[in-house]
Amino acid sequence: MNNSLIRARGVVKSFGQTPALRGADVQVAAGEILAVMGPSGSGKSTLLHCLAGIFPPDEGEISFDGQRLDQMDETRRTELRRTAFGFVFQFGQLVPELTAADNVALPLLLGRIRRKAAYQVAGQWLTRLGLEDKGGRRTGELSGGEAQRVAVARALAVGPRVLFADEPTGSLDSLTGEKVMDLLTSLARERGVTVVLVTHDARVAAYADRQVMVRDGRMATLEPSATLGGLRR
Amino acid sequence: MSVPLTLLGLLEREPSHGYDLKRDYDTYFGRGKPLPYGQVYATLARLARDGKAVAGEAEPGGGPDRKRYAITPAGTAEVEACLAEPSEPEPHLQTVLFAKVVLALMLGRPAEHYLDLQRGAHLRRMRELTEVRRAGPLVDTLLADYGLFHLEADLHWIDTTTARLGELAELVRAS
């Protein structure tokens, strides 16, 4: 894959004595929606956190747009996360005391965009996600599906190049989850945003362009290759 | 549900020509696999022979068979019995996939890898169906859902089997 926006090679990450990744390799093309699947404890969320520069790997290389994330200092990685990456997590991680519009505007205000402009952008994104009448509601008062749509709006409002989503529908029923995935993937495709989506749910993963699987901290091969004939126990 | 029973069900709705039955069958039940005209007329002839449908007089007009078929009380009873009777919940214990896994373990081949490839094939199909349900009308969406839920069930089986391969390998090799 020559047009990789994200490339990870031989990534090893342990927490204390517990290994989470044991040499994971993955590449994500610009504009691609990639689903990372795997059973609980397989290392898939750790891989996402490493690719997003949240966890520095113990070993291996991770690059974003040709820049080595694993060699950047924390300040630079924080800057990258704020300006180039968006995040959606299972429980939204919104500020429940703030309104939907406040939550979406927050990362823009932190990026020193003027208040009026930030709230204008927030309003546009809430409208895109079908929440135009919810901007003034505290997110703690919204339904799970509405809150997750606010989280998607917040993640996309900053104009990220990559959206990292960790079990974004994990707390939703299947129909609501599908609505969130429909919106998330449609908007990402429309804007050319690359998406790395971690999920254990095959129906959610089916929204992606490609799926990879992590098992015991390594990548499993889901596609046939020429070397299979030689694989024998 | 079999073709004869489905056509009988369509006839219960209203007396119809073979052409109309084929059109409705293809729209709702034969998605991607249209029913051949020959099979429609052969099935109608059998239903008439068995007293489940009756053919009216031939009507003037184009086409090979302009008879309008109507369901009989015997046919209606059969449709009712079929709809009211729950289908056999088949356990599918001897699926091709199960046989492949056991054979792979018997032969010392990489069963886990084969299961991963199967998972990949299932996920590709799920991607296609997800695209169908995103773009399609409600009928297509619901049919795609049916396929997706079944593929998802297969994937759960693949996950569980993958997690228990070591145990199964011991069992297979010990026998």
CB distance B108–A223 less than 8 Å? no
Residue A219 placed within a domain: yes
The CATH number linked to A22 is 3.40.50.300
- Taking only the tens place, the pLDDT of each residue in A13-56 is 999 999 999 999 999 999 999 999 998 899 999 999 999 999 99
Could you tell me the residue ranges of all domains in chain B? 3-84, 96-174
Residue A27 placed within a domain: yes
User: Which residues on chain A are in Cβ contact (under 8 Å) with B130?
Assistant: 203, 206-207
**The tokens of B83 are what?**
């709809």
Q: What is the pLDDT of residue A230?
A: 36
Residue A218 placed within a domain: yes
Asked whether A163 and A196 are in contact (CB, 8 A), the reply is: yes
- What is the count of structural domains for chain A? 1
Distance between CA atoms of residues A178 and A114, nearest Å:
34
CATH number of B3-84: 1.10.10.10
Residue A201 placed within a domain: yes
CB distance B110–A207 less than 8 Å? no
Distance between CA atoms of residues B76 and B168, nearest Å:
49
CB distance A203–B126 less than 8 Å? yes
Residue A127 placed within a domain: no
Mean pLDDT across chain A, nearest whole number? 90
**Is 90 exceeded by the pLDDT of residue A123?**
yes
Asked whether A66 and A55 are in contact (CB, 8 A), the reply is: no
The residue segments making up the domain with residue A71 are: 1-84+194-223
- A228 lies within 8 A of chain B by CB: yes
Residue A75 placed within a domain: yes
Name every residue in B having a CB less than 8 A away from some CB of A. 108-110, 113, 116-117, 119-120, 122-123, 126-127, 129-130, 134, 148, 151-152, 155, 159, 163
Distance between CA atoms of residues B48 and A231, nearest Å:
58
- A223 lies within 8 A of chain B by CB: yes
Residue A214 placed within a domain: yes
pTM above 0.90, yes or no: no
- List the helix and strand counts (H, then E) for chain A: 7, 10
**The tokens of A88 are what?**
């959606």
CB distance B123–A222 less than 8 Å? yes
Q: What is the CA radius of gyration of chain B?
A: 23
**The tokens of B33 are what?**
């696999």
Residue A216 placed within a domain: yes
Tell me the residue ranges of DSSP E strands in chain B. 16-17, 53-55, 68-71
In degrees and rounded to multiples of 5, residue A67 shows phi and psi of -100, 135
Complex ipTM more than 0.90, yes or no: no
Q: What is the pLDDT of residue A73?
A: 93
